[in-house]
Structure 1
Amino acid sequence: MSHMECPTPPGFVENAGFRPGFNFLDMLEFPSQSWHIWGWGVSLVFAAATWIAALVLIWKHYLASLNVKSYEFVFVFSKSDPKTQRHKLRVILYPPVYSTLSWFSYLRYDYSTTIEFFATVFEAFAVYNLYTCLQAYLQPFRKEAERTKEPMTARMFHMFTVHVKSKWGMHYRIITDILVLQFPIWSIIDSFISIFAEYKGVYCQGSYSFRGAYVYLVIINFISLSVILSALFTYLAIYRNEWFEGKIKAHGMFWCVKGPIMFIFYFGQILLTGLTSAKVIRGTDGTNSADSVAWPADAVKHGLYVIIVCTVMVVDIGLMFKYFGPTDNIQHARENGTEKMSVWRAITDGYLVYIPEFFYNLLCCGADSYRLMRKRVELRKRKNREKMSLGRSNSSSAGNH
């Protein structure tokens, strides 16, 4: 089947994909016939390195807890700022989990859409925890400025200006919530649509044919990514004084999560798909392969995609040592006290509780929007009533004269 054929036969392809059964010496003696095995091996090494680095970083959080005289196996949570470390620990698992699932999809590219659904869900969790971590950092400032109307103007990319009437107001917060949380919501929906479309034979992965769903999903993904990037860039600019005052590494944390997403989407999906459609990336019939496995162009593209993912995630976990380390949390804990937790409670609180919390907050985002709309409608009606009352009062005064 040509990679340009669209639509495709319905269902998932059976007996396809890469099953490593080879002599490792062949990789050295016949490297040109083992490029796919080399790609598989390099991706595995990078995924393993990402796991090792992530576990080391989590261990650093544990060792830091010992430095504040917590003699149990616990994680440290500041009483005045209770959520930042939880979110950090959750985000730290994003690179190893995502790269590992991508590596598994390298083995069976025909089921890559299904496997990557779980990677997409974890990516959505990472975006959610990044945003809620930044919100937690801002919470002390928000309490201090409660009921204060503070307008803010930010210059974006030296090109245009954004003006916010009150950066601590409910209006700006809810708008930002909607613009940010639409991305993880759409990512999960997109994954469901991809699996269903592939099962029906109308997904056409790797093809920019408008007869398949893939091209439409890419367009919507591009719009969704652009919206969240604009919202977060604005968010970082609006609260720049708070980031500086609190010595919060907000921009670095942003790039640790959104940087890989941007790079993988623009280069791993759009660019590689374009090269495949232009037949720059070609398939092989297996005659010159060490294990005689045929790789169509889509499978070659997906193999390159996985290599890009695993490479990006290795770089990303390295940056997380700087921006998602425990230093600032330990400083908060020393100043404000700590809450001791058992091993199970720490694991539950850090990695399990937020899953229902995630879906609840996504739903509450819509509820908050509805409440804000009702509040604005009632405020508008009250202003109209006051104007009408003032108008009748003026008319009555004029009649008396």
Structure 2
Amino acid sequence: MAPTCPNYDLEATDPSQFYDGHSITWKRHYIGWGIAGICTFLSTVISFRLLYKHARNYTKPAEQRHIMRIVLMIPIYSFISFLSYRFYKQAIYYETIRDCYEAFVIHSFFMLLLTYLGEDTEVRKSRINAGPERMKLVFPLNCWYYNPQGELFLRMMSYGVLQYVVVKPATTIAAVILEYKGLYCETMYSFAYGKVYITIINFISVTIAMYFLVVFYVTIKSEIQEQKPFLKFLCVKLVIFFCFWQTCLLSLIGHFDVFKATEYWSVNDIEMGINGLLVCVEMVVFAILHVYSFSYIPYISNVTTSVCKSLRDGFNPIDLFREIGWACKDIILIIMGKPLPTRDGHLSGAVKRAQTVRTKARLFRKKRKMEQASLSSSPPDANVDPSTLEAGGRFINRGDQILTADAQRQNVPLLSHVDGASLYEMQELEHANQRARF
């Protein structure tokens, strides 16, 4: 017979108020709400300012889209933890969003490291091949070796991280369903309920993902040293480490009756409250660390971009869905013994196409300058203003307005000056080049 899950959802709630119109009630949970709220506000303001600066100086989307996704982790963690503290009876439902985004962040950091390593598979492999052919795995598997120059190395690293992107949301949704059905039991580690199984699955999955991430970081850290990846890696790993292990530790402490229930607060409520308060305070520290580790200063240029368009491009999850689809297809091909196709990935492919368009544009501008130089050797028509002439002696008209060549160059698509411009912007630039050739 299955044990009875203790009823931690107390019906009685504290009737007192923080301010009753005459004086302030200084109870511990009210003080905790205030601290959690202030810390959430501070970490959110710091992170949103950093997000705005990256969106305003969106000059390298291939890198900055992943940086913005990582930076957004701080406000999400802070706000969800504050809600879990304030509305502790519904905490498991709020934490669904945080847990799903955690998996998204791990994948984004892996893709950021890949982008630092190179823009496509060939460049990445060439940089890895410049290193040793045989390396030791990191602790605790350091008695085995691996070959970073192997054909499947990058794919295996990607699979190890992507599995957590699939497992974590699935187990989180399962936990919500089991909680609704009364089969989860937050307060008891019993194999008769779902919590112990979901905890074990999440532990195995996050351990595999973080281990593969560490192995990949150790392999390429010397190749991407100019990007100073250690602090970035530390920020991502510590946030996930604190949230996961802190929750497990508090739950274990509560299991051994270290926390004592009160009239209005059960042991589980106390666990959630302490965990939410600690996360809110920790996120302020990590928000400050993000300002230095994911600085926007290296991306500053004399051209600013639209914040809305930058955010829309940065948080478009199509690349994640495509990577998951490709990984599933590759696993099927491996099982069937068929060769794997060469894929550069959604983002790196966009970067490659953008570079092709920019190369064509540079060649065209060079040709224009040569034609302009040849025209300058002959006297211009006295009735024509030379500033209104394009290369080849053609007028630059738009409706009834006559634009100079400099003005025309300023009317380029929004993100055409950046690495990895969107497909729409590349098409616009390509069409402009085609019109200029006729």
Shorter-chain TM-score tier? 0.7 to 0.9
Note the C-alpha offset of 1:162: 5.1
1:183 aligns to what SS in structure 2? helix
Aligned residue for 2:135, secondary structure, equals strand
Maintained 8 Å contact 2:57/2:305: yes
**Where do 1:187-226 residues align within 5 Å?**
187-226=168-207
Match of 2:426 in 1: none
Aligned residue-pair number: 335
Offset at 1:104? 1.0
Q: Deviations over 1:215-236 (max 9, x none)?
A: 2211222111211121111111
Per the alignment, in what secondary structure is the counterpart of residue 242 of structure 1? coil
Give the counterpart letter for 2:203 in structure 1.
Answer: F
Q: Name the CA shift for 1:377/1:16 in 2 (closer, same or farther; >3 Å).
A: farther
Residue 320 (structure 2) pairs with residue 358 (structure 1): yes
Give the % identical residues.
24
Q: Give the TM-score of the pair, scaled to structure 2.
A: 0.69
Does residue 110 of the first structure (1) align with residue 62 of the second (2)?
no
- The superposition leaves residues 331-360 of structure 1 with CA deviations (integer Å, 9 ceiling, x where unpaired) of xx79xxx8x643332121022x12x33233
Please show how residues 244-393 of structure 1 align to structure 2 within 5 Å.
244=225, 247-267=226-246, 269-285=247-263, 294-330=264-300, 341-351=305-315, 353-354=316-317, 356-374=318-336
Are the aligned partners of 1:50 and 1:313 in contact in 2 as well (CA < 8 Å)? yes
Q: CA deviation at 1:237?
A: 1.2
* Kept in 2: contact 1:99–1:309 (CA 8 A): yes
- Change over 3 Å in CA distance of 1:305–1:365 after alignment to 2: same
Q: Quick one: distance in 1 between partners of 2:234 and 2:164?
A: 16
* 1:71-220 correspondence runs (5 A): 74-78=56-60, 82-140=61-119, 142-144=121-123, 150=129, 151-154=133-136, 156-157=138-139, 160-161=142-143, 163-167=145-149, 169-220=150-201
Question: Which 5+ residue runs of structure 1 have no aligned equivalent?
Answer: 63-73, 286-293, 379-401
C-alpha distance in structure 1 between counterparts of 2:15 and 2:155, whole Å: 48
- Would the aligned equivalents of 1:162 and 1:234 in 2 still touch at CA under 8 Å? no
In the TM superposition, what whole-angstrom CA distance separates every residue of 1:7-33 from its partner, at most 9, and x where no partner exists?
A: 368xx96967789832189997x64xx
Q: Which residue of 1 aligns with 2:383?
A: none
Q: Residues 154 and 238 of structure 1 are in contact (CA less than 8 Å); yes or no, is this contact kept in structure 2? A: no
**Separation in 1, partners of 2:89, 2:140:** 45
Q: Which residue of 2 aligns with 1:384?
A: none
Q: CA deviation at 1:273?
A: 0.8
| Residues 57, 296 of structure 2: 8 Å contact kept | no
Alignment match, 1:66: none
Give the structure with higher Rg (CA).
2
Distance 1:329 1:148, change over 3 A: closer
User: Is 1:47 matched up with 2:40?
Assistant: yes
**Equivalent residue number for residue 432 of structure 2:** none
Secondary structure at the counterpart of residue 83 of structure 1: helix
Between the aligned partners of 1:116 and 1:16, the Cα distance in structure 2 is 24
Structure 1 stretch 13-22 or stretch 40-49: which is displaced more?
13-22
For each residue in 1:40-76, what CA deviation from the matched residue of structure 2 results, as whole angstroms up to 9, or x when unmatched? 11111111111111122224436xxxxxxxxxxx432
Letter in 1 for 2:297: T
Distance of 2:120 and 2:134 partners within structure 1:
15
User: RMSD of the TM alignment (CA)?
Assistant: 3.1
> Would you say 1:23 and 2:5 are equivalent positions?
no
Post-superposition offset of 1:316: 1.2
Q: Is the Cα–Cα contact under 8 Å of residues 183 and 193 in structure 2 kept in the other structure?
A: yes
Gaps of 5+ in 2: 341-438
Shift of 1:148: 8.7
Partners of 1:145 and 1:253 lie apart in 2 by 20
Deviation at 1:372, TM superposition (A): 4.3
Tell me the distance in 2 between the aligned counterparts of 1:159 and 1:258. 19
Cα separation, partners in 2 of 1:109 and 1:373, compared to 1, 3 Å = same
- Distance, in Å, in 2 between the alignment partners of 1:142 and 1:350 is 22
How far apart are 1:322 and its partner, in Å?
1.6
Higher relative contact order (CA closer than 8 Å, sequence separation 6+) = 1
- Taking a change above 3 Å as real, the CA distance of residues 127 and 158 of structure 1, as seen in their structure-2 partners, is closer
Distance 1:27 1:138 in 2: 60
Q: Compared with structure 1, are the counterparts of its residues 282 and 56 closer, same or farther at alpha carbon in structure 2 (3 Å cutoff)? A: same
| CA deviation map 1:223-279 (0-9, x unaligned) | 1121112111111111122122xx122222222122111112112x21111111111
